[in-house]
Structure 1
Amino acid sequence: MKNILIIGAGKSSSFLIKYLLEKSDQENLHLTIADISIENANKLIKNHKNASTIIFDVFNEKQRTSEIKKATIVISMLPAKLHIEVAKDCIKFGKNLVTASYVSPEMKALNKQVKEKGLIFMNEIGVDPGLDHMSAMQIIDKIRNKGGKMLLFESFTGGLVAPESDTNLWNYKFTWNPRNVVLAGQGGAAKFTQESTYKYIPYHKLFRRTEFLNINDEKFEAYANRDSLKYRETYGLENIPTMYRGTIRRVGFSRAWNIFVQLGMTDDSYTIENSENMSYRDFVNLFLAYSPSDSVELKLRSYLKIDQDDIMWEKLLELDLFNPIKKIGIKNATPAKMLQKILEDSWTLQEKDKDMIVMQHLFGYEINGKKEQIESSLVVLGENQSYTAMSKTVGLPLAIATLKILKGQITKPGVQIPISKEVYEPILKELKSHGIEFIEKKVPYLGYNPNHVIG
């Protein structure tokens, strides 16, 4: 029996576990699901005869090496920074490894050892990164095979709330790690290329330079990712004139989020004295000038020039930002952590809420002297709080890749991401049967349209 060790049983693991259990009899699989808290895992396996759960501490070297040694293949669902010790043990004991995380410099440095052992370390095989790579490379390779020259590649992804669960003025709820949402865009200027010109957007301008998208006849906006150029070489697009990657939100979100950025509420670089005893209203007042007569509300509207009948003001009121009673309750918190606490009150998915994954690629190219463009779009809706669109689009690519490695259908050794035809073609084909399918259509070639950009 092939033993699949799954380390981590968080929110993205439900479809991963479901898929592998459904295949377990046919493929002779046993799943060992290891987590520091296995309550969620026990719910997901439902006493299945081909699965077991264990309480697992990745920092316990004796336990970690023992479990990896017993495994046929390892899936790490841990935070990216915790993969490396698992990866080293996989090399030591000759085990293949699958993760959904970005390839870190530490992971990349293991490539020589992984190849020497003939192992496969498949990374970035979730949704973004993952589905974005596979779906993009499939079309880029088709264009190249026809003799086309790539002129433009734009790629956008968003984890959003499904329309039927969209119940607030922000048209947004947390569908993944709230901390990552609050800190999005920080750590350096966003960079991309536009008509062979390098462009940079500093963080304080990021949410006022958005691009509009139409997906399934609905309008969305996207702000630029921090580094749109990191995959130029990987995709073989070193000389492409325009390359831009962004994050999708509903129209109006970015303009409102910019309020927090301008006030300094998303800063994670220092802590606030007495933060645990501060009210939400106190928190807002931290970033405003002192006035013996003006209210916090009036100071904020005056500082940011927000009219009282502006929808931006309504969005702030909806978050209960000015509540003098509610406490932050977090000691030595950064402004970002305090903001996150406030937002979680309003943006946490409720029991019956459903999430949604939206992705779109634009491919501009020249073939036989003619410029053409392809638009490829994906929309996936979640089923419920356990089986979300996020867990589906992360977990299924992971699970399918794992099984194909086990069956010897993916064979190339090394630390890698899913950009080769051997990997993306069968996985994308199987994903269609699970409702994960990109809709492609030819559209007029526009190039990078500067009219799409606000500000």
Structure 2
Amino acid sequence: MINEIGVDPGIDHLSAMRVLDKIREEGGKMLIFESFTGGLVAPESDDNPWNYKFSWNPRNVVLAGAGGAVKFIQEGQYKYIPYHQLFRRTELVNIEGYGRFEGYANRDSLKYRDVYGLKDIPTIYRGTFRRPGFCRAWDVFVKLGMTDDSYVLEDSEDMTYRQFTNTFLAYNPNDSVELKLMHYLSIPQDSELMDKLSWIGLFDDVKIGLKKATPAQVLQHILEQKWTLKEDDKDMIVMYHKFGYEKEGKQKMIESSMVTLGQNSEQTAMARTVGLPVGIATRLILKGTINTPGVQIPITKEIYEPMLAELEEHGICFNEREISYQGY
């Protein structure tokens, strides 16, 4: 049986281990491993100021990062980012042909040291991709408390989006909801951030219509009105790994990236990258190509070589190239 065999975790394991094993087989010592995955909207369907639409469970998007402090190690120093700071600590990555992405840290990166055989690595960091500017705007929801799923709002059914936003702001009979929010979070009036918040509907006089809803459920409802894929919209999966290592006294670096696009709102890249690995793994087990007994995750050559080869036949390909070493 193979677990963790979707896109992330799944394809990330396969693609990372292929490069890691090659580096180690050639005598390299790992110094840096970074890995990012993002489920986003394809460029041709990107028609909103957030540069984002749902292609996965919206609830998981709303609650992302809320499970506690994320953990990673950087240059030998353990790092922890609490939830209220998570979306202000991002990294920028450029993917050739697709532009820039920003990544925020994802859960506990430290556990992958044992999984990938990187026990003594000085830097390991796993994250999630969004387009630049998304995380700064999402941080507004976090700071206001809109992503909280621990309590129920009174009279949420009859509340409007505007009233929902106002519940998190101090009382002032003379200031508008917009002005109070800008003052509270020090947002300039002409900021693109306010454009994002206005576009998503936070200040609209539209009834929520949800009974006994938590703030997170209300926020999800608001976002679903604007971030749901239209019939002909295409989504996009972006995956990126960076491997820094030392070999024969020289520091080297490899980056590996994969971008795949969906066909429409039903035949999505998300569905394909989650579903195909499961089907391929099942067939390889039945054929006897994969025959290691017990419960496995896809980190051995017996598993990743045939699976990556078949994924390439379906257009899910990784571009691996050497780049100049970039430390911290």
**Amino acid of the structure 1 residue aligned with 2:57:** N
1:401 pairs with 2:292: no
Structure 2 match to 1:212: 92
Whole-Å separation in 1 of the counterparts to 2:249 and 2:173: 69
**Amino acid of the structure 2 residue aligned with 1:332:** K
Structure 2 match to 1:268: 149
What pairs with 1:85-124 in structure 2 (closer than 5 Å)? 121-124=1-4
Structure 1 match to 2:194: 313
1:199 pairs with 2:79: yes
Whole-Å separation in 2 of the counterparts to 1:372 and 1:244: 18
Whole-Å separation in 1 of the counterparts to 2:260 and 2:236: 6
CA-CA distance at 1:387 after TM superposition: 1.2
Structure 1 match to 2:127: 246
Structure 1 match to 2:301: 421
Structure 2 match to 1:291: 172
Structure 1 match to 2:270: 390
- The runs of 4+ residues in structure 1 deviating greater than 6 Å are none
1:333 pairs with 2:213: yes
Deviations 1:32-63 (A, max 9, x none): xxxxxxxxxxxxxxxxxxxxxxxxxxxxxxxx
What pairs with 1:149-188 in structure 2 (closer than 5 Å)? 149-188=29-68
Whole-Å separation in 2 of the counterparts to 1:216 and 1:446: 17
**Amino acid of the structure 1 residue aligned with 2:131:** R
Choose between structure 1 and 2 for higher RCO, CA contacts under 8 A separated by at least 6 residues.
Answer: 2
- Greater Rg over alpha carbons, structure: 1
CA-CA distance at 1:372 after TM superposition: 0.3
Structure 1 stretches of 5 or more lacking a match? 1-120, 450-455
Structure 2 match to 1:77: none
Assess if the C-alpha contact under 8 Å between 1:157 and 1:248 holds in 2.
Answer: yes
Whole-Å separation in 1 of the counterparts to 2:293 and 2:25: 25
Structure 2 match to 1:258: 139
Secondary structure (helix, strand or coil) at the match of 1:416 reads: coil
CA-CA distance at 1:279 after TM superposition: 0.6
Instruction: Please give the TM-score of this superposition, normalised by the length of structure 2.
Output: 0.98
How many residue pairs get aligned? The number is: 327
Whole-Å separation in 2 of the counterparts to 1:187 and 1:433: 37
Whole-Å separation in 2 of the counterparts to 1:207 and 1:383: 30
Whole-Å separation in 2 of the counterparts to 1:431 and 1:185: 30
Whole-Å separation in 1 of the counterparts to 2:209 and 2:3: 38
1:430 pairs with 2:305: no
**Amino acid of the structure 1 residue aligned with 2:324:** P
Deviations 1:301-352 (A, max 9, x none): 111111221000001110121112x111111111000000000011000101
**Amino acid of the structure 2 residue aligned with 1:183:** L
**Amino acid of the structure 2 residue aligned with 1:282:** Q
Deviations 1:386-426 (A, max 9, x none): 21101111111111101011111111111221001100100
Deviations 1:71-102 (A, max 9, x none): xxxxxxxxxxxxxxxxxxxxxxxxxxxxxxxx
Secondary structure (helix, strand or coil) at the match of 1:294 reads: coil
**Aligned-pair identity (%):** 67
